[in-house]
Amino acid sequence: MKTTASAVKTLCDMPKSHVQKLILKLPQNTHLQQLGLARSAAARLQVLRTLRDVHPDIFSEVLWLAEGKNLPDQKDIDLVPLKSNILCLVEACRKLKVKYTIDSQRGIVAVYVKPKQPPLYFKRSRAPFNSAVVSEICKDKDALNSILQDSVHTPKGECYLDPDVEERYQPYRMHLSLKAIAKDAMAKLGLPLIVKPNAGSEGRNVAKCTNSREVITALAEIYNKDSADYDSLALLQEYVEIAHEYRAVAFMGTVLLVYEKDISKAQHTDNFSPLHWQGAVAKHITDKSILASLQEFTSNIYSKLAIEYCGYDIAIDKTGKMWLIEANTVPMFTIFLEHNSADLLIDMYEKILHTLFTPTSR
């Protein structure tokens, strides 16, 4: 497999007519036209830089074609490829001879299950397997924990409505100030507390609080209506002392991919999500005992709530007890692919395709 750097050099040095033939295989795009017209290596390099920043999916496709349709797996200092789950899905389709079409500019892949049936559509990190209701339940952390509390360990928690919520929701308020919320939560859950948006993601606005003032500050961040991350509901939970945290990606009840959020050499940042810490690593897990334990744990969830495709965040505390932290119906693999071979994700998609699809020639 060629490196990204060699693919870039190939594009910059090849005759203009060859570049034009190559980009005819991709959707119409202004930057691609500029690439086809550029004569010098320096001019093409500048177009590639712009394409990388503005249309990363198309940029990856250009490199892919230049590399003989192999996914790039090495970073170049100047041009960093997008190793995306969409490209891994496409590679899985190609390996299994499953018919597909791809809209690189929009990040959409249509996968044809069987002849004379409509395709299943994937859009970037979104897959077509979960119902809208199941996805909404998983997004609502309080509702999810309520459903699963008798099946797996979930942190004890309380959900609180913004005291300054819009007028039509004010009759549902139980507490009229941040101070009152903090007092109630500390009385029920003790300290320290985890304060998070009920529908948040990627560790944004999540805080560990050790006193009333910190709880009030964290609530104010969540209830800040000027913030793009505003949530009218805050979830306050007991703190779990985590020894290990895993992401287990499962399809139709079977765990297909597991990695540990390894922070042993990381420095804490203002984001509570471990993989967003400086120096954190997504460590692929192959240990059979760990995989078996996670499979048993997620099977208990699936028997209660059929989440067909999910990235479970599962913690193991200092005593060895397993806890469900979150269930993500739109698992993303950007950080995983920074630390691991794309072949692992391609293999995951192959297993999904084997489960669902009758291969057809492209």
Position 65, amino acid: L
The values of phi and psi at residue 77, to 5°, are: -55, -40
Are 277 and 269 a contacting pair, CB within 8 Å?
Answer: yes
C-alpha to C-alpha distance for 170 and 223, rounded to whole angstroms: 14
Are 94 and 208 within one domain? no
Tokens representing 298 are 């997620």
Are 314 and 190 within one domain? no
Are 33 and 139 within one domain? no
In this prediction, residue 243 carries a pLDDT of 95
Are 142 and 235 a contacting pair, CB within 8 Å?
Answer: yes
In a domain, 347, yes or no: no
C-alpha to C-alpha distance for 25 and 120, rounded to whole angstroms: 23
In a domain, 77, yes or no: no
Position 199, amino acid: A
Are 91 and 185 within one domain? no
C-alpha to C-alpha distance for 220 and 211, rounded to whole angstroms: 15
The alpha helices in the chain, defined as continuous H runs, are 4-13, 16-23, 30-37, 41-54, 56-66, 85-96, 132-139, 141-148, 178-189, 212-222, 288-304, 334-339, 342-356
CATH for 209 = 3.30.1490.20
Tokens representing 117 are 């049936």
Position of tokens 């948006």? 197
In this prediction, residue 121 carries a pLDDT of 97
Q: Which domain holds residue 101?
A: 85-123
Closest by Cα among 351, 346, 283, 307 to 70: 346
Are 316 and 186 within one domain? no
Closest by Cα among 156, 142, 165, 150 to 186: 156
Q: What contacts 216, CB < 8 A, 6 or more positions away? A: 178, 179, 182
C-alpha to C-alpha distance for 276 and 263, rounded to whole angstroms: 10
In a domain, 16, yes or no: yes
Cross-strand bridge partners of residue 248: 258, 312
How far from 60 is each of 23, 98, 107, 321, CA to CA, in Å? 12, 21, 11, 42
Q: Out of 213, 238, 263, pick the residue that ends a domain.
A: 238
Are 233 and 251 within one domain? no
Q: What's the number of domains the chain is made of?
A: 4
Are 112 and 207 within one domain? no
In this prediction, residue 280 carries a pLDDT of 78
Are 149 and 252 within one domain? yes
Are 147 and 247 within one domain? yes
Are 115 and 100 within one domain? yes
Closest by Cα among 359, 361, 340, 346 to 73: 340
In a domain, 346, yes or no: no
Are 137 and 166 within one domain? no
In a domain, 344, yes or no: no
Query: For every one of its 362 residues, what pLDDT tens digit does the chain have, with 9 covering 90 and above?
Result: 345 677 788 888 888 888 888 888 777 788 888 888 888 888 888 888 888 767 766 777 787 777 665 433 333 323 333 457 888 898 899 899 999 988 766 778 999 988 888 999 999 889 999 999 999 999 999 999 999 999 999 999 999 999 999 999 999 999 999 999 999 999 999 999 999 999 988 788 999 999 999 999 999 999 999 998 999 999 999 999 999 999 999 999 999 999 999 876 655 555 456 655 566 789 999 999 999 999 999 999 999 999 999 999 999 999 999 999 999 999 989 888 888 888 899 999 999 999 987 554 44
Cross-strand bridge partners of residue 209: 193
Nearest 5 degrees, angle CA 330-CA 250-CA 264? 80
C-alpha to C-alpha distance for 120 and 113, rounded to whole angstroms: 7
C-alpha to C-alpha distance for 32 and 20, rounded to whole angstroms: 9
In a domain, 339, yes or no: no
Are 351 and 309 a contacting pair, CB within 8 Å?
Answer: no
CATH for 307 = 3.30.470.20
Are 275 and 137 within one domain? yes
